[in-house]
A = this chain, B = another copy of it.
């Protein structure tokens, strides 16, 4: 099954309106593979194979799609199929879909739900976006601490079929107050007569529904949890955050950080299905800001225009010098942004981080300066090469300091450190680096 052939095949089948062929193709692929193919098409194409799926796979495929693709599919469905899918979705996935949908779809969706599902969805929608509450599942089997293991297993047998996740089960006392969790595996291997309160892990971490979902997901990863209990402000159990949602949250957060680091707004959706105008929109804002900021470099160059006219050779090294400064700054910024994201560095580490990056930048500067001295001597003579080499040392040290300080300061004032993008650091280093360059030139050349 060569990857390359798969997609063309399905698209070809759709374009030639070969319904039998599409049905065969669908039967041969797994739900996540089908979803992956549909993600690459526009909605007009995707709806055709989707309509041909049998009922139980329809839901599985649907749940694997991004919210914006789900909206597109929903709009192509008849009322009956539309409501069927929404009614059967996992409550957390449904809440996120409705939360992101335009009002027209959201209203139609909520109106068609059964009262109990509507209540559950409304409760989840009550939590802020990007909070744990939006991602948790309220559908699980809750066990009371006074049960025996044998009785608890009976409860799981009776109610487990409707639950989204029964790997880790919440154990509560009266009034749903959280006691801890027990792994289904531990229930199965424990003696039936033991009491749940002797088996429960009371140290299992828990989070509030209002907390940020990314930190909760990273906690799950650190603590190797397949599910994390979620409580309200009074320590009452309200739901479980499961590993599949945690994985999705971490992937999305990493994608966002990467986009931000390159000076673009995160797009969120599948690259292939995003239109040109949305891509332009996501990238233009920062480019405009950076271009305006780069006007500073024009001003600096103007300020030293006399120097430039006297020694035109100085202009030759401008691209190389500011490029190097930008590169060193980008390395430092990226390292610190990532260390902050995964929790390796905290804001209070600022002094140590600055001192470390300052030494790293200086040593990188020394290495590059030796090289620049060689290149410069060959191309334009020793004196200007000396200016270039000294500038490299100063710019590298300076860039490493700026690159590491800015994300930490952003974090301190409550801004996502990833918005301190590499281009932003580079632009800042450009303007200041030019001042350093011309100052050193004037000193050494005596002009």
Q: Is A36 a contact of B283 with CB atoms below 8 Å?
A: no
B-side contacts of A318, CB under 8 Å: 301, 315, 318-319
Q: In whole angstroms, what is the CA distance A344 to B30 when docked?
A: 17
Q: In whole angstroms, what is the CA distance A30 to B258 when docked?
A: 31
Enumerate A56-111 residues with CB–CB distance to B below 8 Å.
Answer: 64
Q: Which of B156, B189, B286, B360 is the one whose CB lies under 8 Å from A279?
A: B360
Q: Of A299, A337, A348, which is in contact with the most chain B CB atoms at under 10 Å from its CB?
A: A348
Of A41-49, A121-129, A130-138, A426-434, the stretch lying at the interface with chain B is: A426-434
Residue of B nearest to A368 (CB): B291
Q: Is A288 a contact of B326 with CB atoms below 8 Å?
A: no
B-side contacts of A156, CB under 8 Å: 185, 188-189
Interface size class of A (residues with CB under 8 A): 35 or more
Q: Which of B189, B257, B308, B322 is the one whose CB lies under 8 Å from A319?
A: B322
Distance of A320 from chain B, by nearest CB (Å): 4
Q: Is B298 a contact of A335 with CB atoms below 8 Å?
A: no
A375 CB within 8 Å of chain B:
yes
Q: Is A287 a contact of B30 with CB atoms below 8 Å?
A: no
Listed in ascending order, the chain A residues whose CB lies under 8 Å from chain B are 3-4, 30, 32, 36, 39, 64, 153, 156-157, 160-161, 166-167, 184-185, 188-189, 203, 205, 220-224, 226, 243-244, 246-248, 250-251, 254-255, 257-259, 261-264, 267, 270-272, 276-277, 279-280, 283-284, 286-288, 290-292, 294-295, 297-299, 301-302, 305, 308-309, 312, 315-320, 322-324, 326-328, 330-331, 333-339, 342-346, 348-349, 352, 356, 359-360, 363-364, 367-368, 371-372, 375, 379, 422-423, 426-427, 430-431, 434
